[in-house]
Structure 1
């Protein structure tokens, strides 16, 4: 999370984090997770231009920002990052859980460790069924 990302998230509007500065928030899993959730909620972006906002778009928005995730060169560069490798594995694991009939709520946090371990933004949780529909 960059400082601009943190500022744009407006996470300090939440009473729990109102006194946090950028570095304090970035080091606190609860605050950082809430900042990501708020940022993604404020900027739902169809990064790949397929007409849908899916987990892939949330991941690209988180990594590149809502203004830059549309740029094909930036998306190509992102494919070589550790973040994208982990994110894709998380999506694959989640699809496996869904197809196996396991409870997404029980297992998603344990299997998916995005950028901030231990906290999967609710906006990403809601997007997972869209990814499942794409695979059918």
Structure 2
């Protein structure tokens, strides 16, 4: 089967060789029923809690400050890069939709997921893409995730949350 990436359209029958028709049919069926959902490895509820805890202790009550909003401290550029997620029935006016989405925990997690779908990778070179990488991506941006986290409070909050999450698992 030819290579296929999200955003390039569904692979069609022309992508499948004659000997692979049954396998391709299954893949096409899975793609059609999945709605193109991309699974982001190791991005789970505990990781989301640690990402927002590191950002601002998961506060949804703080007003936008210095260009960052919501429990994950998401910037307008990050939100746009992640796919401009909006609340159900919300009009996607860039300023208002951004602020209402990223201040809502569920919409903000959709935004973070969209960002990680786009930029998720092994940033620390340990051979595994997990929450340690996602926190580096979230803090440094998708194109600079190899950089260390320099904000000591951010790093301390993440590490304490991560240790607590591991103890629960």
TM-score category of the 2 structures, normalised to the smaller one: 0.5 to 0.7
Larger RCO (alpha carbons 8 Å, 6+ apart): 1
Give structure 2 stretches of 5+ with no counterpart. 1-73
Larger Rg: 2
Partner of 1:125: none
Cα gap change, 1:15/1:96 in structure 2, threshold over 3 Å: closer, same or farther?
Answer: closer
4+ aligned runs moved over 6 Å, structure 1: none
Counterpart mapping for 1:22-37 below 5 A? 22-37=98-113
Q: What whole-Å deviation, never above 9, does each CA across 1:70-121 have from its counterpart, x for those lacking one? A: 23xxx1514x1x33222211110111112xxxxxxxxxxxxxxxxxxxxxxx
| Alignment match of 2:91 (pick from 19, 42, 64) | 19
Does the residue aligned with 2:142 lie in a helix, a strand or coil?
A: coil
Aligned 8 A contact 1:45 1:57 in 2 = yes
**Contact between 1:25 and 1:32, CA under 8 Å: does it hold in 2?**
yes
Equivalences for residues 116-127 of structure 1 within 5 A: none
Q: Is the 8 A contact 2:81 2:115 kept in 1?
A: yes
Distance 1:95 1:49 in 2: 20
The structure whose residues are more often helix, as a share, is 1
Structure 2 CA distance for partners of 1:32 and 1:15, relative to 1, 3 Å: closer
Segments of structure 1 that go 5 or more residues without pairing to the other structure are: 99-136
Q: CA RMSD of the aligned region, Å?
A: 2.1
Q: CA deviation at 1:61?
A: 0.8
Q: Establish whether residue 93 from structure 1 lines up as the match of residue 164 from structure 2.
A: yes
State the TM-score, normalized to the length of structure 1: 0.58
